[in-house]
Chains A and B, each alone.
Chain A
């Protein structure tokens, strides 16, 4: 059976009066890429810091690899790799030395370590920059170095806190692919982000957070099934008489519709032939139309429907 790698039970964390985590629970199995998705300020970093025993918390229990996590759980710590949301490298050490330094905190054997560092350098694609100082690296490359420092020792559990913030698209793709590769090689991944596209792209399971609470959890398909909307049909039209509009709105499975700026949006929930039925109505009324397309629900729709606010609106 799958082993539980991380178990967070009923975690409560307060900063003064602010409740940053409100009875938050989580269970992550071996081999998952677990996504923690939520807008800025929803408590993702706080969760990670509690998980790592950096932060004290008011209530709750945290287990990693089946053992309770404490600040002195060195046997647990040696199998964890962390990539913090802020870049943590020494400015006065080169790329290679930085990786060696952090890797050396985990692996004593010099030869073994050398191999690990070479792997890590290759993994993040910094082969041409090993002698560079961090100041000379672009934002994307710096992030990659940050990742290399966190994963060089080949940990079993890798935690990445918003590793793609302020990163160019090329580096971002490379990072996302890299994470999937690490996972293929056997690591369990916890990935936090407020970019739902990324989470959708790579995560096998996702927990959506808002204001310190878990609002939904599951695979992306499961999450999307949780909400009413299954597809949105959009048709470009020059005109739409009231009669035809009402006819469309009353079709089976259609729960909402709107006509604005020459665009008809039909929101459907379930059913199989929604598009055909809508087009039939248009033909019957002899209405010409332009482009027709359908949109599948995104995690944003999930978030929107559950919390009533769009995930996007809350971004930086």
Chain B
């Protein structure tokens, strides 16, 4: 019986125009619009611009000088350094010509003006170098003929390790945020499929519901079968959406793409549950409900920055709790964490938030649709 209902729910869902439009065509279109709109920004930000710094030598540090020169001669230098004195360097920093000053002497010291990703990278460069310097110094003393080789490997290690630290393998560019939000939005559109389930199953919401309630199939079975079908349909939509973004539009989701899929699917389950919940508690007709859900979803998307990029930051400042409960923000944060952080801690925290929300929505939905007789039809 479960399979019979599932089969027909799937059939009917796959043929539904709403689904085709909102869950497949709409994200493809919007994604394309984003891609075209961000095209130029994308080109620019994809290439890493080297960080201009000044090096002030307080005492001679041959190894460091060599490393800096090595870096400077690379094809895409991590930093471009000019050697100068303290006064000039400070002036350059004030004018914004450079982003940091490294004082080389007994120990390396770093001065920066602002705080940001690039400054963090500089800091970690200095730290990484200091750790490795000792090894290099030893090499100079014991085997001077190998000095060149040691410097080269020192350079490579330092650069690669500090490029990795804050940014890991992902692409931190702001514009990817839009695509994360887009996926989150499609996931949330699952609420419409979720809502249809309740309408099809409740006697007071539709003639179909009434007919379904008159059949000898227990409601729990038919509701679960329909939920399962929505989850499956939504999964298909998410796979299409992510695949389109990643492989057709070539949006760079970092090298954890394989995790983007399940995350998106998980997000869509959240969307379906949300619709199922709203569908069960709000006793109004389907058209009104669809309107309510679409508006809610769009609002949530707005607050998570789908339309205005820095909206999420604004919300984070004014009402940080809202980003934690806004399902769209939670889903898109999930992708962000996946992309940005080396470890999985924050990613899992977001996943757990999602799981808890799903359980709450479904439980409340089932409780309020469990009612067997209606006072009014």
Contact = CB atoms under 8 A, between A and B. Distances in A.
Q: Check if A and B associate.
A: yes
A28 to B, nearest CB: 17
Interface residues of A, number: 35
B287 interface: no
Interface string A41-65: 0000000010011111000000000
A54 B213 contact: yes
Contacts of A84: 207, 210-211
Contact of B12 (A70, A90, A104, A108): A90
A50 B211 CA distance: 14
A143 B91 CA distance: 86
A4 B199 CA distance: 35
Given A84-B207, A93-B12, A101-B8, A77 B377 contact: no
Interface residues of B, number: 28
A259 interface: no
Interface string B193-213: 000000000010011101111
A49 B214 CA distance: 10
A15 B372 contact: no
Contacts of B218: 72, 74
B207 A92 contact: no
Interface in A2-36: 15
Contacts of A72: 218, 372
A204 to B, nearest CB: 24
A114 interface: no
A71 interface: yes
A102 B211 contact: yes
A88 interface: yes
B374 A56 contact: yes
B126 to A, nearest CB: 63
A77 B216 contact: yes
A105 interface: yes
A245 interface: no
Contacts of A105: 1, 4-5, 212, 215-217
B123 to A, nearest CB: 59
A55 B377 contact: yes
Contacts of B373: 53-56, 71
Contacts of A77: 214-216
B215 to A, nearest CB: 4
A257 to B, nearest CB: 48
Contacts of B208: 88-90
Interface of B: 1, 4-5, 8, 11-13, 15-16, 203, 206-208, 210-218, 372-377
Please give me the 7 A-B residue pairs with the lowest Cβ-Cβ distance, nearest first.
A88-B207, A71-B372, A86-B207, A92-B12, A105-B215, A74-B216, A78-B216
6 contacts: A53-B373, A55-B374, A55-B376, A77-B214, A104-B8, A105-B4
Given A15-B375, A54-B373, 11 more contacts: A54-B374, A55-B375, A71-B372, A72-B372, A77-B215, A82-B211, A82-B214, A101-B5, A102-B211, A102-B215, A108-B4
